[in-house]
Structure 1
Amino acid sequence: MFSRWDVRPEQVAWVAVGLVVLVVVSFVVYKSIGGIVLGLFLYYGTRPVYEHVHERVGRRRVSAAIALATVGLPMIIVLGYAALTAYQEAATLLNSPVASDIRQAIRPFVSVQSFASRETWTQLLQGNTALVRRYSSTLFAWGIRLFIMVTVAYYLLRDGHAIGEWVRDSFDDFVAVDFLEGVDDDLDTIYTGNLLTIGITGVIAAATFYLFATFAPGDSVIQYPILLGMLVGVGTLIPVLGMVAVYVPFAGILFLRAYVWNLFPVWVPVAFLAITFVVVDTIPDLLLRSYVSKGGINMGLMILAYALGAEAFGWWGVFFGPIVLVVFLHFAQRVLPSLAHGISVHIPGE
């Protein structure tokens, strides 16, 4: 076996240089892994749209921009709507009788007029420099992640065909090409299925909550049904719990408003919970499961990949866990048998 090795000194030197480059690139990727993984998620989620647009437009740059806009623009709209809703809720709270009572209670101790002055805010910021720095660094870090995510997705969409051709030209081994193509196909299925699940579930949830708020007795049962529906859609990405982590706490809030404050009958939160479980949670799951699970990966393993990925790597592990699972399974199915049966090592060009 070792007789097949024929390595020249200059090749050893180039291997050493390659290892150094690999270490540096791996460090950079590790420091930016969150944005890169989100970029891969966005790339696979928008690739079907890109291919559909590219067939008609014919220009890869324009097609990539349109594909990202179809996903990125709705996300920006939802986030903007959420921020506007939060602002309106805060304004309502500040103008409520409860806020007036609080202001009256603290008036003997705090001058509300001086608190609203610029000098007071300047002193407050100077006294909390560490807190301001922490929040500023957090906003900056998420801004960088957003930039990396969009950039990675855009260039993968635009140059994905060139990367595929390079892989096929660079690897003469059929096993390697088959391995990479299998990983690509499964990630395409998984991440496209995720975006479909978020979108379809969000639309169904928003329509259901809007109708429920229209016909339910009492005022303001669900004040912002569209926002709640979008949050339920995004909640499908939460490991193990899924959208339950969104609509069950909201049902608890409805129950408190009904039982403690008597704003509407107690059966309203019960009906909300039952309707949401059947119409929003169960029916979309049955409709989408056949598409999401049409690949060769067991759904139980996928759930473990989401949960263990989040546990091991943090928030970005939700998106990185499926990548680890897909790579591991395809390595075990396509590469490991070849290694077990023995392969000869030969440097191309010798």
Structure 2
Amino acid sequence: MQLSAALRRRVLLALAGTGLLVAVGLVLSQFIPTLVFTIFLYYASRPIYRRLAALPFPDSIREHALPYRRQVHAAATIFFFLLPFIALLGYTLVLLVPELQTFFGSGGLGAAYLSSLQDLEPGSLPAPLAALGADDLLTMGPGELIALLRNPTVQSWLGRVSSTLVDSVSVLATILLHGFIMLAGTYYLLTDGPRLVGWFLDTFDGSGVLGEYASSVDDELSSILFGNILNALVTGIIGIFVFSLYNVFAPGSVQVPFAPLVGALTGIGSLIPVVGMKVVYLPVAGILAVSAIAAGEPSALAYVAVFLVVTLVVVDTIPDFLVRPYVSGNRTHVGLLMFAYILGPIAFGFYGIFLGPILLVLIAQFFRVIVPYVITGEAETSDATADQTSLTEFGSSES
């Protein structure tokens, strides 16, 4: 009877723990895009964090800084790397959104909100207000001011303006909240993530198979998220600025149409195996050449040649040369990875370009590591884990 009561208590505690996990999962499910971007920022910044961790502290602050070295390195990584990167990415989106709006037309991305912002422009004032100057408003009596505010045209305009301001504040607050969650999440993943994984493996991984699985997933995600996707983002940002700068000097007949949009597409094209971004800028160069000939300006072909050379060197070669050396994973099939990049955004939305590869890696490494253990009951460890700094090893060296 005593054993039965103890078993019941264990079952009840297990059910309570399951309920807590379900509750946490429901809360986190409301922030899936933010969590996915947090994982990307973690893998994008971790190499910088590790390089900073390898640097010695100056003798003058060594005694006081050593107990907080993980926190100092994480804060420095976020301040000197992540914040400038996010600011640059945000400014790039500011350039890209109007191009998307123009490309997709009046019903395009954010059309309702963008058009509502026009109510805040001085030229959009209703006729009763436009006819008045600032001095007239200051000299108006209470009765005149009330009559003006009761004008249906003015009331309608004030209603749209107030709604736009409320929406803008709401959008800004949401962006700041999710930005704080991403930065805070990245900070704690850098400082405490390895120790949390180490505790989990020490507690639940008696066979060693979970450690092998975690190490394989970590290696591939580091390769894909820091290597391939970061390369695509950097390439896209460079492409946007290069093509926009080219349009400043090029004559109208050979200017790149929708330059920021084409620049972003070059970054996406870099994810395509073998051909990469050439599927974007080579057809664009062909269109520019045809446009120059059709306009009767054969001399403008020199600008097309400059476009090709600059794109090949600055957009295609330099980012690939700087970022690709960090790409070391070779377990995930290139074709499957390409479909993950394509199907992820279709299935999950804009954040699917990160979530698709993450799910692919989790599934692929599950079948590579876990399934053989389930079938045979034997855990096999690979030599790959000995050649890299695993999560648990990195955590113990920092503790």
Could you tell me the TM-score, scaled by structure 2's length? 0.62
**Structure 2 partner of 1:348:** none
Given that 2:277 and 2:316 are in contact with CA atoms closer than 8 Å, whether structure 1 keeps it comes out as no
Does residue 1:63 correspond to 2:69, yes or no? Answer: no
| Residue 302 of structure 1: how far off its partner (Å) | 1.0
Distance 1:82 1:176, change over 3 A: closer
| Alignment of structure 1 residues 213-252 onto 2, 5 Å | 231=264, 235=268
**Structure 1 partner of 2:349:** 314
- 1:79-127 CA-partner distances (Å, limit 9, x unpaired): 347759999xxxxxxxxxxxxxxxxxx99x9679349989788742414
| Residue 143 of structure 1: how far off its partner (Å) | 2.9
List runs of 5+ in structure 1 lacking aligned partners: 1-6, 88-105, 344-350
**Structure 2 partner of 1:3:** none
User: In 2, Cα distance between the equivalents of 1:290 and 1:39?
Assistant: 23
User: In 2, Cα distance between the equivalents of 1:254 and 1:329?
Assistant: 43
List runs of 5+ in structure 2 lacking aligned partners: 1-5, 58-65, 99-122, 138-148, 379-399
Question: Secondary structure of the equivalent of 1:8?
Answer: helix
Question: Secondary structure of the equivalent of 1:294?
Answer: coil
Given that 1:65 and 1:154 are in contact with CA atoms closer than 8 Å, whether structure 2 keeps it comes out as yes
**Structure 1 partner of 2:111:** none
Among 167, 170, 177, which residue is 2:203 paired with?
Answer: 170
| Residue 145 of structure 1: how far off its partner (Å) | 2.2
| Residue 167 of structure 1: how far off its partner (Å) | 2.2
- 1:123-166 CA-partner distances (Å, limit 9, x unpaired): 42414766665555444333332222111111101112311321
Given that 1:45 and 1:192 are in contact with CA atoms closer than 8 Å, whether structure 2 keeps it comes out as yes
| Residue 246 of structure 1: how far off its partner (Å) | 7.9
| Residue 332 of structure 1: how far off its partner (Å) | 0.5
Among 141, 144, 147, which residue is 2:177 paired with?
Answer: 144
**Structure 2 partner of 1:326:** 361
| Alignment of structure 1 residues 1-350 onto 2, 5 Å | 8-56=7-55, 57=57, 59-69=69-79, 70-77=81-88, 79-80=90-91, 83=94, 113-114=130-131, 123-127=156-160, 136-171=169-204, 172-194=206-228, 196-198=230-232, 201=235, 205=239, 231=264, 235=268, 267=301, 270-271=304-305, 274-275=308-309, 278-279=312-313, 283=317, 287=321, 291-292=326-327, 294-341=329-376
Distance 1:14 1:259, change over 3 A: farther
| Residue 14 of structure 1: how far off its partner (Å) | 1.4
Aligned-pair identity in percent equals: 30
Over the aligned positions, Cα root-mean-square deviation in angstroms equals 4.9
Alignment-mate amino acid for residue 44 of structure 2: G
| Residue 207 of structure 1: how far off its partner (Å) | 8.7
Between Structure 1 and Structure 2, whose CA radius of gyration is higher? Answer: 2
Could you tell me the TM-score, scaled by structure 1's length? 0.69
User: In 2, Cα distance between the equivalents of 1:324 and 1:189?
Assistant: 14
User: In 2, Cα distance between the equivalents of 1:112 and 1:197?
Assistant: 51
Distance 1:166 1:34, change over 3 A: same
Alignment-mate amino acid for residue 71 of structure 1: L
| Residue 268 of structure 1: how far off its partner (Å) | 6.1
- 1:183-226 CA-partner distances (Å, limit 9, x unpaired): 1111111111036514763686479659956975689968xx9x
Distance 1:137 1:334, change over 3 A: same
Count of residue pairs brought into register by the alignment = 317
Distance 1:133 1:189, change over 3 A: same
Alignment-mate amino acid for residue 55 of structure 1: A
User: In 2, Cα distance between the equivalents of 1:317 and 1:115?
Assistant: 51
User: In 2, Cα distance between the equivalents of 1:72 and 1:315?
Assistant: 21
Alignment-mate amino acid for residue 147 of structure 1: F
